[in-house]
Structure 1
Amino acid sequence: MKQRLERLYLPEFVYGGIDGSVTTFAVVAGAIGASLSAGIVLILGFANLFADGFSMALSNYLSVKSQGDLHRYHRDKNKNTEAKHPFKTGLATFLSFVVIGFIPLVSFVLALFFSSLEPYKLTISIVFTGLAFLFVGAVKGKIVKKHPFYAAIETLIIGGIAASLAFAVGYFLRGLAG
């Protein structure tokens, strides 16, 4: 049962988790690059977290539902695949996106309550997000029988490139923020 769940929902966990942490950190990095306030970072971060997570979940739901409809239409009885439940795949995507995508915002939320963290919130966000990338990559590697270290490093590099790009865009467009 556990192996079946891992196999069926690993793509949703990996896709949702990586995209949640990358896009949320990209919003954080872009806002910081543009020298926006911590409050604006949180507003943009949470708006991204829930809107993008919900959008991805609905897209995944529709994709899996369409795939099932297509198989039924063609009456593909010989296809040796396990059917995914559209609602469950959408939910897995959303939960993974929101839970792991929240990690880049943790330091900004904590800084609201612990002022001593204020000067370190970006550094903490970078470290926590990097750890999230490593975690998702390692889990992916373990489940698909690849070396967890290499899968983790691959995910960290890809996420780091996306975050760096977002920071650079925010930095170069910072004058637009007024």
Structure 2
Amino acid sequence: MELKVKYTDEELKKALRRKQEYLNQPDHTSNKKLDDIFHHKNTGRYIGDLVYGANDGIITTFAVVSGATGASFSPAVIVILGFANLLADGFSMASSSFLSIRSSLDYQRAQRQKEEWEVDNLTEIEVQEVRDIYSSMGFSGDDLDKAVKMTISDRKRWVDLMMVHELGIFEETEDVPWKHGLATFGAFALAGLAPLIPFIIPFFAENALIFSAFFAAVALFTTGALRTLITIKKWWVGGLEMLFVGTVAGFVSFAIGLTLKNLFGL
């Protein structure tokens, strides 16, 4: 069955505008430039860190300030708790992102070294595996022999093939762990400030928690809408999607806190 993907006129125009941006560049003959601009290869690799960091920053900070407000803490204490959460939790998430990416890259390098050893020391077995891979793709006869010969004539190409088709590993050679960590921390700290603003500015003091919830909702919607800068999804769909997920997460956090409060009579 053929899978057909349908796009609206607006989505197609948006994609074409991106391609035109690329074509207008002086060095538009560069394939790397096409990847960077048309496919958002550079910015796209950090979108997960930004969205995850921003969402968690907004939700956890709002959970802290709402809980502290319920406990009748002073605005000064609430701000201190909020900033402590921003720094501590933000750094924790950033370090987790850094270690996660670094561990993944280390694993990829280790598997590549093993595959290189097999190519050098178990050559006949590895050649047969190459034949099996191309046979599964539909190659046969002379075409199969040519494909195998061409692949094993280049050690790097040979190992690349085995990494993808035997181990299922798509190497991310351009990933920089500390950049992922920085993106996570920056998004967490910046977006997490939104629920704290009403407790910092005296103008909002009388209804600080209500304004905090409002600012958190706006921040969630904005974060979701900004995702569409590198996707073809409508901005309001992205915004509502993020707002819904964040609202559910916030409600669950509040419900758990309320349940524990009633359970222990705090």
Q: Same fold by TM (over 0.5)? A: yes
Q: Give the letter for the 2:176 counterpart.
A: H
The answer for the alignment partner of 2:48 in structure 1 is 11
Question: Identity rate of aligned residues, in percent?
Answer: 40
User: Mapping of 1:50-65 within 5 angstroms?
Assistant: 50-65=87-102
The answer for the alignment partner of 2:185 in structure 1 is 94
Does the CA-based 8 Å contact 1:104-1:128 persist in structure 2? Answer: yes
Greater relative CO, 1 or 2 (CA 8 Å, sep 6+): 1
Structure 2: gaps (5+ residues): 1-35, 113-158, 162-169
* 1:30-50 deviation per Cα after TM superposition (whole angstroms, max 9, x unaligned): 222333332232122111111
* 1:97-139 deviation per Cα after TM superposition (whole angstroms, max 9, x unaligned): 001111110111112xxxx421122222111111110011111
The answer for the alignment partner of 2:208 in structure 1 is 121
Q: Give the letter for the 1:15 counterpart.
A: Y
Does the CA-based 8 Å contact 2:220-2:246 persist in structure 1? Answer: yes
Q: Give the letter for the 1:151 counterpart.
A: G
Q: 1-side partners of 2:172 and 2:49: how far apart?
A: 17
Does the CA-based 8 Å contact 2:224-2:239 persist in structure 1? Answer: yes
* 1:64-110 deviation per Cα after TM superposition (whole angstroms, max 9, x unaligned): 00111111111173436453100110011001100111111011111
Q: 2-side partners of 1:93 and 1:132: how far apart?
A: 16
Q: 1-side partners of 2:41 and 2:223: how far apart?
A: 19
Does the CA-based 8 Å contact 2:61-2:86 persist in structure 1? Answer: yes
Does the CA-based 8 Å contact 1:22-1:162 persist in structure 2? Answer: yes
Q: Give the letter for the 2:68 counterpart.
A: A
Largest Rg, 1 or 2 = 2
Which residue, 176, 186, 206 being the options, matches 1:85?
176
Which residue, 98, 121, 143 being the options, matches 2:230?
143
Q: Give the letter for the 1:167 counterpart.
A: F
Q: 2-side partners of 1:90 and 1:155: how far apart?
A: 22
TM-score by length of 2: 0.59
Q: 1-side partners of 2:70 and 2:42: how far apart?
A: 40
